[in-house]
Structure 1
Amino acid sequence: MVAISHFRQALFLLAVNIAAVSLATAPPVLANTSAGANDPAPETPEPAPVTHAVTPQDGGGAQVSVETETASDHTEPKAAAANPLSARVVMSQFVDMPVVGDADSTLRYAGRADAYIDIAGSAWGLDDSFTLTVRPEYTWGKDSNGTIGLIPNNTALFRGETAGDFDVSVSVSKQWQSGAKLTVGKVNVLDLGGQLPVVGSDGHHGFQNLGFALPPSAIIPNTITGALLSVPTEDALFRLWVFDPDSQYERTGFETGFESGVGFLSSVTVPVKIGGKPGYYALKLSGSTRDDISSSNLPAALIPPAASGFGNTKGEFAAVLAAYQFLDVYPEAPGKGWGFFAQAYASLGDPTFLDKSGFVGISGNPRRRTQDRFGAGYFRYSLTDGLVDALNTRLGLEDEEGVELFYTLGIADRYELTANVQIIDSVVTARDTGVLVGLRLTTGF
């Protein structure tokens, strides 16, 4: 086991070295801009402002246009670049401690590092409308997930109960002149969640609770293998995903491909300006053909016994309505502003373990310190009634709700220090309401 751990660390350090070499040879990138220096200028409607500062816009590499929940993906593939290798590394360190509730008041330290490596098609025999993306990730330390609530309070450190600390995702993308983009392979969904307007949280930036950063649907796992298509038009952005509904964390995707069925997501996002401020409103439909509970996303205590009857229904389906509306943008600081976000989710239940949820909040940049960022939000998640009934002899369960507040101080172009407070009324009825406080230090290069 020690040898395996050292091998994983060596792989991640290799990715970091590749990133360092790329950064040493790449053209300079301006910090605190709304896109990477090599990203193309999007056509109207304008893209959503970016509200964190440590790195260029999430997913922005020298060869890949940013894909956000907007209709502004109408960009052309890039011409051959002088440097076909684009790489960056983002690292966050966390300390937190429960200060109210049943959980032990233990100070915990942990961290996460992600490398984002994009290799243009010209480097491997194709044109630069193709991109090979390699995404190693590595975590360490002891996290506080599960000490207070069911929904993980630290998205960056969320793993299954038996999962390890290292994973790598590899995918190939093709972008057409129309702006349509197809990605095939293994994809970390958290990267896409970090590109959402206003809320824009990816574990390293913004909200830490999974309820905001990567709202759980119990249908779409955090790491997927499949095909992801986005088609921008002048009026809307359309998406269609087809994927293996089992989590692909620490898997290649080929071991037991699609043995649990086939999952899908389809969505349409429409840009709307209110009072001259950009907003984005989305309808998302997801489902799968699986006929069992998604056990990799639940702690063992919440897996119902086989004889309970829950999890035997074939097929699942859910719908989401989401809104991301800017209330102010700052002409003197392009890409900065603040606004509100909201989402409502409902599923058909069994075998999906969540039946409804919702959240609302605000997030953005203070006008006098646009390098900083703030956020406040409320969420509520409900377990499917059939699952609650199946577990009622084991433990009492109810809806889980919580509040998160954070403020990020932009120390320098490459550093952010975030203070975070979460107040959580756990899904477990026997637990008292808990309060968790913490700090996050993030750097990117």
Structure 2
Amino acid sequence: MSPGKLLRLPRIPPELTTGKMSMLRYIHILLAVLCLASGDARAGNSGDAGATPQPPPFGGPWDTRLKLTGDWGGVREQLRDHGFTFDISATAYYQGIARGGLEQDSELGGRSDYWLNVDGQKAGLWPGLFLTLHGEAVYGDSVNSETGAIVPVNIGRAHPVFFGTAGALTAVKFTQALSENFLVYAGKINTIDNVQQPFMPGHGLDAGFMNAAFVWNPILGRTMNYATLGAGAAILSQSYPVLSLTVYDTHNAATETGFKDAFDNGAIIYPTASLPTKFFGMPGHQSLWGVYSSGRYAIVEQQSLNQIPTGLPPTTLERGSWWVTYLFDQALWVDPTDQTRNWGVFGNAGISDGKPNPIQWSAIFGVGGSSPIRDRRQDYFGLAYYYLGFSGDFKDVARVITPVRDERGVEIFYNVGVTPWCHITPDLQVITPILGRTETSVVLGLRMKVDF
């Protein structure tokens, strides 16, 4: 294959110029024009930060405010002062397979996220009560099913459903702080919303890595679901959870209430422990996560987080499944004028039972975080690699239909903060997928997120 063909841009499908996709396309173009017209010289230049008064949380000039729609004539800040905070965003994705994969194609899709956070004390209830609602919608398409990989290359377009258009309320979470360092929570929980690992900004849905492997370890996919009923407790240190224990239902409830079949297939026990560190005088964490599920699973059963190859022969159900992961993150640079701006290394390694979990072991390593460039204070970057080792039991079942191999991939992105409310991210991924006869995929992508 010639270098020119290798580096060609994905084609634009003709269907994007007609029908509903045309409207979606024009909306995305309009938002892009708004972003680019605003520029970011003022937003990114920190030379006079000490002398310039900070604008109100939602106010200020339109190209430096935190949200595109501002403070809604003062209503937004009044609602916040009374305990109600609304966050609305829209994210557009354009990805194409420039080489390899099952099909060299390109797709345009998007998602919208709607958040309502309620502070119970400010709302006139009682201290320590918090309510979080997360609604989301996905539309358009993605190339997730065209790479041949088990891990989605666009996690933002993979949930709450892999295919089609859908809207869902994926989180209704009640939290009660019993002290400054101890809280309990219960409700319908969006598990990805709760992921906290530094140097992976935006949980992959809008600001950080697009590949699902770098949002959380794919080895979790056998037992964990995108959204499900659950309850638990956590001990905090400086607002970071150092110990937690959560009990989840085994069913994915992303597009349902979750009550119909709640806990009829057992429960998931999910403990975590994290130790804050200060190596080299820089912040970091050493963490352990683990799960035991009493549910019954088949090794080839579809998952809500990973894309198990379809058409595999059925297997018997196995009672119980477990996995353990070790995580670390370590800052290597911290902005002396703003401690929240930093970049560093991170890693994640896991092992599992290997049956019914098709992934026996996994390893992830990367570097990322805030841009160290002085005048790019709203930018982020990331470079990471993952490797998934599949169990012998899974390979034996799969090779009856198709040869499979261990999967690996690398991703690099640079997130440009055009304004505080608009981020544009070019992205490149190279994936050697699970399907043994499928060539390594080169996936080019562009993401734009607007906060309203």
Shorter-chain-normalised TM-score: which range? 0.7 to 0.9
Amino acid at match of 2:229: T
Check the 8 A contact 1:322/1:342 in 2, yes or no.
yes
Q: Corresponding residue for 1:267?
A: 272
The 3-state SS of whatever aligns with 1:146 is: helix
> Quick one: which of 444, 449, 452 aligns to 1:442?
449
Closer/same/farther in 2, CA of residues 124 and 353 from structure 1, 3 Å limit: farther
Alignment partner of 2:393: what SS?
A: helix
SS of equivalent residue, structure 2 residue 297: coil
- Over 3 Å counting, the alpha-carbon distance change for 1:102 and 1:267 in structure 2 is closer
Name the CA shift for 1:437/1:81 in 2 (closer, same or farther; >3 Å): closer
Q: Give the Cα separation in 1 of the matches to 2:131 and 2:142.
A: 32
Q: 1:399 aligns with which of 406, 409, 421?
A: 406
| Sequence identity percentage | 23
Give structure 2 stretches of 5+ with no counterpart.
1-45, 50-55, 58-64, 68-78
Check whether the contact 2:412–2:428 (CA below 8 A) recurs between aligned residues. Answer: yes
Q: Which has the larger radius of gyration?
A: 2
Tell me by how many angstroms 1:247 deviates. Answer: 1.2
Shift of residue 126, structure 1, vs aligned partner: 3.0
Amino acid at match of 2:99: V
CA shift, 1:182, in A, is 1.5
Q: 1:187 and 1:170, CA in 2 relative to 1: closer, same or farther beyond 3 A? A: same
SS in 2 for 1:338: strand
Residue 147 of structure 1, CA deviation: 1.0
Partner of 1:188: 190
| Mapping of residues 310-325 of structure 1, within 5 Å | 312-325=317-330
CA RMSD in angstroms, aligned pairs only: 2.5
CA contact (8 A) 1:54 1:415 kept: no
SS in 1 for 2:145: coil
- 8 Å CA contact 2:81–2:122 kept in 1: the answer is no
Residues 139 and 165, structure 2, Cα contact 8 Å, conserved in 1: no
- The amino acid that maps onto 1:141 is G
Q: Which residue of 1 aligns with 2:251?
A: 246
Q: How far apart, CA to CA, are the structure 1 residues paired with 2:336 and 2:273?
A: 29
d(CA) in 2 for partners of 1:313, 1:131:
38
Structure-2 residue corresponding to 1:380: 387
SS at match of 1:334: coil
Letter in 2 for 1:121: G
Partner of 1:198: 199
In the alignment, what sits opposite 2:23?
Answer: none
Q: Which residue of 1 aligns with 2:150?
A: 150
Specify the code of the residue in structure 2 equivalent to 1:192. N
Deviation at 1:271, TM superposition (A): 0.6
Written as runs of structure 1 = structure 2, the 5 A alignment for 1:144-183 is 144-148=143-147, 149-159=149-159, 160=161, 165-168=166-169, 169-183=171-185
Kept in 1: contact 2:217–2:348 (CA 8 A): no
Paired residue for 2:345? Answer: 340
**Which of 424, 427, 432 lines up with 1:425 in the alignment?**
432
CA distance in 2 between counterparts of 1:163 and 1:318 reads 31
The letter of the residue matching 1:331 is P
User: In the TM superposition, what whole-angstrom CA distance separates every residue of 1:312-359 from its partner, at most 9, and x where no partner exists?
Assistant: 221111111100110110012331011000010000121122211111
Q: Distance in 1 between matches of 2:350 and 2:394?
A: 18
The aligned residue for residue 27 of structure 1 is: none
Provide, for residues 373-407 of structure 1, a one-character-per-residue CA deviation record: whole Å limited to 9, x for no partner: 11100001122321221121111111110000000
Distance change (3 Å), C-alpha of 1:266 and 1:409: same
Q: What is the 5 A alignment of 1:81-92?
A: 82-92=81-91
- Structure 1 pair 341/140, CA: closer, same or farther in 2 (3 Å)? same
Could you give the per-residue CA deviations for residues 179-204 of structure 1, whole angstroms, max 9, x where no partner exists?
212221111112122x3212234210
**CA distance 1:206–1:236, change in 2 (3 Å):** closer
Shift of 1:259: 1.6
Q: Say if 1:300 and 1:192 are closer, same or farther in 2 by CA, change over 3 A.
A: closer
Equivalent residue, structure 2, for 1:45:
none
Is residue 304–residue 387 contact of structure 1 (8 Å, CA) maintained in 2? no
Could you say what secondary structure the match of 1:156 adopts? Answer: helix
For the Cα contact (< 8 Å) 2:359–2:388, is it kept in 1?
Answer: yes
User: Which whole-Å CA distance do the structure 1 matches of 2:384 and 2:85 have between them?
Assistant: 35
Equivalent position to 2:210, from 203, 208, 211: 208
The answer on whether the counterparts of 1:96 and 1:439 sit within 8 Å (CA) in structure 2 is: yes
Distance 1:296 1:129 in 2: 35
- Post-superposition Cα deviations, 1:65-109, rounded to whole Å, max 9, x if no partner, equal xxxxxxxxxxxxxxx973221111122101111101144332311
Q: Secondary structure at the match of 2:394?
A: helix
Matched, 1:220 2:228: no
In structure 2, the CA distance between the partners of 1:129 and 1:301, relative to structure 1 (3 Å rule), is same
Q: Which moved more, 1:238-247 or 1:172-181?
A: 172-181
Aligned residues: 369
Spell out, residue by residue over 1:126-156, the C-alpha distance to the aligned partner (whole angstroms, 9 max, x if none).
Answer: 3131122211000110111121122000111
Cross-structure match for 1:370: 377
Would you say the 8 A contact 2:101–2:439 is kept in 1?
A: yes
Cα distance in structure 2, aligned partners of 1:102 and 1:444: 33
1:132 partner SS: strand
Q: For 1:439, what is the secondary structure of its paired residue?
A: strand
Q: CA deviation at 1:431?
A: 0.1
Q: Is the 8 A contact 1:98 1:435 kept in 2?
A: yes
In 1, the alpha carbon distance for the partners of 2:311 and 2:257 equals 25
Counterpart CA distance in 2 for 1:236 and 1:185 is 18
Q: Aligned partners of 2:162 and 2:89: how far apart in 1?
A: 24
State the TM-score, normalizing by the size of structure 2.
0.76
In 1, the alpha carbon distance for the partners of 2:291 and 2:384 equals: 24
